Chains A and B, each alone.
Chain A
Amino acid sequence: MSISMLAGAERPDHPLSRYASTMHIFCAGCGYGAIAQAVTRVYAERKLDKMKYVFFTGIGCHSALPTLLPGYTVMTLHGRLPAVVTGAKLANPELKPICFCGDGDLLAIGTNHFVHACRRNLDMVLILLHNNVYGMTGGQAAPTTPTEYKGTTAPYGYLEKPFDGCELAIASGATFVSRWTSAHIKQFMNTLNKAIDHRGLSFIEVVTTCPTYFGRKNKMPEPIDLFRWIRDSAVSIKKAEGMSEEELEGKFLVGEFQKTDRPDLNTIYKEIIKRAQGD
């Protein structure tokens, strides 16, 4: 099916129907399809209002998600998503944006906007799709590429220390922070449900597979190799408590790290208007 066949088509009433009627353009073994399906299922199960629960994407492989997503989607520029959502959310507080960003998107070019959106506790669900690599541009090393792994711009191995998106989000002031992987879809859906109900910035990092670039460059050419690598590297928060530092070397934690409550940006701005109008 060609993408242009969507032109002028009536919007399907059933949230899953677009998912069923359009193909996705992701590589074999990519985790994005599974994530889109999980999000779509939550959207459908909860019968979310399309006028309110809108999607935003940045630039990356995930920019192709809208053909699968069940609601209106705004594609922003590379890294600018948190800033665009800041404006949209202040202009229309009724919106509850569900946003997708890539690791290059949010942790490289858009770090500034990301950090400030967390600080402001912007009321949005922010899903970071972490595939260790710049997929769309051809497998360049990302700020999330693990040390000693290879990319097309790191032929001798990436020697820099990678970013931990969740730690950055917590330090910046995000109020609900969690990490899952494309091998933890049930848990991810559970957290997403909570995130939709949470008022404030809900950050969910999803570690996912990129067999085409990350796997191929790092001796894991089959999708199942990478899937196993992710599954084996993920350690739950509870299990990690009993593990030594050496045992945790090269692993990453999964689970819900933080859930706190403080006024979100819209609540703060209501207060400013109240003060200005002297009520």
Chain B
Amino acid sequence: MSEDKAIRTGTHVITGNDAMVEGAIAAGCRFFAGYPITPQNEVPEMFSVRLPEVGGNFIQMEDEIGSIAAVVGASLAGAKAMTSTSGPGFSLMQEYISQAAQSEIPLVVGNVQRTGPGSGIVSVPHHGDVMQARYGGNGDYEIIAVAPASAQESFDLTVEAFNLAEKWRTPVIILSDAMLGHCREKVVIQSAEEFKKNIIERKIGPRKGFKPFTYEENGELIVPPPLQLGTHAFPFWLPSVSHNEFGIPILDTVPKGSFKMVKRLCDKIIKNEEKITMTESYYLDDADVAVIAYGLPARTGLRAVREAREQGIKAGLLRLKTIWPFAQTAIEKVAESVKSIVVPEINMGQLFIEIDRVAAKKGVSAHLVIQISKLHEPHEILSKIKEVA
């Protein structure tokens, strides 16, 4: 009974926030812990309705620190688990996001971004947490971040976020925003049968010879199935301090052991960049100017590209569905074939730093179109395309 209720096959007109919830539950999420913060309130509200219907648990915690800690606990106990928040709450969660990356605990964090810094403006879109998603916590580690651009993608990429979390055993962050979260759009959900083919279920490690953490074998990094408390797939001690691949704390070989652990955690994501990243190309085959964007600015960018084409300018668009790991390979490929790159971002230029680095390496000029607390107008991007074409 519960499984039928989990996947709401059909066509719906729902908000991005609600689509995120439906995507999570369809992907097998059975635990949510959160704390109210605008503009993500519809996420915990919808989870509180939907999770008990499918036999899962929703809990409103005492703060965001407690929310992410509860999600870590639930994931360790075998549930696919998620929390959601917005900027200030996301800052509070960094402590355990860093720890979850280190202990390789799969979980999903929805960040419906709002303007900052500080309390900022609570219900306007802003992409100020792009760098915080990657560098927010202490220490060196890598996470995966996806950036939906429509309500449909809020559904699809949330499903994908859970798959990525299971596969790579890492926190996955969904970078939505206030506009996307509140905008009502069409969302189509496949039949349960079709849908389930694309779901990565929670696996349990072998009873004998289970190595709890990512390890190297014949020069390849092997990511073992997630830890599960209450089964044999658990180290006798899960330390939150630096540890080797068996989970034994690194005490006696500090420089060597610690280096190995950090390298393993970062390489797991960075070296598999091509396998993890997802991009979409529009009109790039013969383009002179490439717009590279993620989230809602990619939609504005696509309109600007089409208008530029109407005016005889060969423009194209590379849309990043994943922000982290940085799509180095895809962007290098674009930079090799165009004369200039335009990057519209709803911030002061966060991913631009990375794109500009690649562009400079390939001898291509990159240009930023900033916007603060609101979406771009198509003409703002168009005039930049014209300027640099």
Answer yes or no: are A and B bound together in one complex: yes
* Binary contact track A51-86/B, C-beta < 8 Å → 1, others 0: 110100001000100110000111111001001111
Please, which residue of chain A has its CB at the minimum distance from the CB of B63? A112
Contact B70 A74 (CB under 8 A): no
Contact B65 A92 (CB under 8 A): no
Contact B246 A8 (CB under 8 A): yes
Give the docked Cα–Cα distance between A86 and B74 (Å): 8
Give the docked Cα–Cα distance between A76 and B31 (Å): 19
B231 on the A face (CB < 8 A) = yes
Q: Which of B70, B237, B241, B246 contacts A86 (CB 8 A)?
A: B70
> Most chain-B CB neighbours within 10 Å: which of A8, A11, A77, A112?
A77
Secondary structure of the A side of the interface? Answer: helix
B188 on the A face (CB < 8 A) = no
Please, which residue of chain B has its CB at the minimum distance from the CB of A11? B236
Give the docked Cα–Cα distance between A145 and B249 (Å): 31
Q: Tell me whether A92 and B78 are in contact in the complex, defined as CB-CB below 8 angstroms, given that A72-B234, A87-B72, A276-B53 are known contacts.
A: yes
Give the docked Cα–Cα distance between A84 and B235 (Å): 17
Kindly provide the distance from the CB of A51 to the nearest chain B CB, expressed in whole angstroms: 5
Contacts of A59 in B (CB 8 A): 240
A90 on the B face (CB < 8 A) = yes
Please, which residue of chain A has its CB at the minimum distance from the CB of B238? A74
Contact A91 B79 (CB under 8 A): yes
- A1-15 interface (Cβ within 8 A of B): 2-4, 6-8, 11
Q: Tell me whether A90 and B229 are in contact in the complex, defined as CB-CB below 8 angstroms, given that A76-B240, A83-B70 are known contacts.
A: no
Give the docked Cα–Cα distance between A273 and B53 (Å): 6
Contact A54 B229 (CB under 8 A): yes
Give the docked Cα–Cα distance between A277 and B1 (Å): 10
Q: Which of A52, A77, A88 contacts B74 (CB 8 A)?
A: A88
Q: Tell me whether A3 and B251 are in contact in the complex, defined as CB-CB below 8 angstroms, given that A75-B238, A94-B230, A277-B52 are known contacts.
A: yes
Contact B230 A273 (CB under 8 A): no
- A102-126 interface (Cβ within 8 A of B): 112-113, 115-116
Kindly provide the distance from the CB of B95 to the nearest chain A CB, expressed in whole angstroms: 6
B239 on the A face (CB < 8 A) = yes
Give the docked Cα–Cα distance between A169 and B63 (Å): 19
A166 on the B face (CB < 8 A) = no
A275 on the B face (CB < 8 A) = yes
Q: Tell me whether A77 and B71 are in contact in the complex, defined as CB-CB below 8 angstroms, given that A7-B248, A87-B81 are known contacts.
A: no
Contacts of A6 in B (CB 8 A): 236, 248
Contact A52 B246 (CB under 8 A): no
Q: List 18 A-B pairs, Cβ < 8 Å.
A: A3-B248, A4-B248, A7-B248, A66-B239, A72-B237, A73-B236, A76-B240, A83-B62, A88-B76, A88-B77, A91-B30, A91-B57, A91-B75, A91-B81, A92-B229, A112-B66, A113-B69, A273-B52
Q: Which B positions have Cβ atoms within 8 angstroms of A?
A: 1-2, 30-31, 33, 49, 52-53, 55, 57, 59, 61-63, 65-67, 69-79, 81, 95-96, 99, 229-231, 234-241, 244, 246, 248-249, 251-253
